[in-house]
Amino acid sequence: MTPREPLRPVGYDDAADRVRLLDQRKLPAVETWLELETAEQVADAIRTLAVRGAPAIGVAAAYGVAVEARRGASPERLREASRLIASARPTAVNLAWAVARMSRRLEAGPAALLAEAHAIRDEDEASCRRMGALGAPLLPRGARVLTHCNAGALATAGYGTALGLVRAAVEAGNPVTVFADETRPFFQGARLTAWELQRDGIPVTVLTDGMAGWLMQRGEISCVVVGSDRIAANGDVCNKIGTYALAVLARHHGLPFYVAAPWSTVDLATARGADIPIEERGADEVVRINGALIAPEGVPARYPAFDVTPAALVTAIVTERGVADGDLAAALRRLAGA
Ligand code: MRU
């Protein structure tokens, strides 16, 4: 098979001064790129999940600030644009982290701001590759990896966090296979994880969200590997709704539960998972699939978009700085100084 171009879902057209985003609302049916020129458009793309995944929204946010600067925005307008983008979604700390990093360069001018955004993108992909190298040895030969949501190239600048471990293992000759939870209601697993792994020739099987326990009971899963939107100082891990249930199941069945996330996802200023703001999205996203109602008209529905897995259920956290295990709070403190 001819190797495919690496998948990079967030980019910038330097000549036209436009932010380019692969529209993840449309995959896998249609591959279409959005070309954005304002902070409002970038914030809207983040809010509506055209771009999603903690590291990827951080990169998009940085480009959103840069595009305003390059199009001549005043310092005042740049500050307003930064606030607008930072508030597009509350849970993934990468968004606020990237905007804060851009804000520190606000006075440096448009060229410096664009260079900073490119650096955020390049560093994120490098971090993913480093996490892959550090984390791949955790996967036994022929591991059957269960993952949730999409923590792949599509959720990052490229390569992926959880799927970066899978990619690195496959590149090292380990014939790993993946089970992808469909991940209701946006179907990041069925639509995005399945699409990007199939594109790279990595075997993937889609499950509905309730199937994991049964497959674990039958010995068909080796370990769980997921990404994260924010990791608290005590090692509690926030990730896509449904992750906590998998961690409980993994513990019950004696399986390792691994988290892969760049250091930009670690929020030492947040003491514990209970302090992480959890995004609540509209009930309509739960009761409609592609516009079609799948529940009785008017029935209430809930959509907390994330949950928190207590540190005690996490076997290890793989970051580009190293692997945290054992006492996660102490391990994260050590890595903070690395
Ligand atoms: O709502 P989403 O699709 O942005 O949620 C994404 C996740 O929960 C991912 O698992 C997380 O951001 C890690 S991505 C490397």
Looking at this predicted complex, what is its ipTM?
0.99
Say what the pLDDT of residue 3 is: 58
- Locus of tokens 């971090």: 127
8-state DSSP, 53: S
8-state DSSP, 191: I
Contact 164, 128 (CB under 8 A): yes
To test the pocket of ligand 1, the residue of 10, 27, 188, 258 to mutate (highest count of ligand atoms within 8 Å of its CB) is: 188
23 Cα–ligand 1 center, Å: 15
Say what the pLDDT of residue 1 is: 44
* CA dihedral of 43, 49, 50, 52, whole degrees rounded to 10: 90
Among 134, 219, 204, smallest CA distance to 169 is for: 134
238 Cα–ligand 1 center, Å: 10
Token code pair at residue 250: 């993994």
Among 157, 328, 199, smallest CA distance to 178 is for: 199
Annotated binding site for substrate: 52-54, 89, 188, 239-240
Measured from CB, residues less than 6 Å from any atom of ligand 1 are: 52-55, 92, 149, 151, 155-156, 161, 188, 227-229, 239-240, 305
pTM of the model: 0.98
Q: Is 236 a catalytic residue?
A: no
8-state DSSP, 154: G
Identify the segments of the chain with pLDDT beneath 50.
1-2
Residues 6+ apart with CB under 8 A from 187: none
| Catalytic residue (choose from 181, 200, 229, 267) | 229
Say what the pLDDT of residue 338 is: 78
108 Cα–ligand 1 center, Å: 31
**E strand segments, 88-193:** 144-147, 177-181
Say what the pLDDT of residue 283 is: 95
CB atoms under 10 Å from CB of 308, counted, come to 21
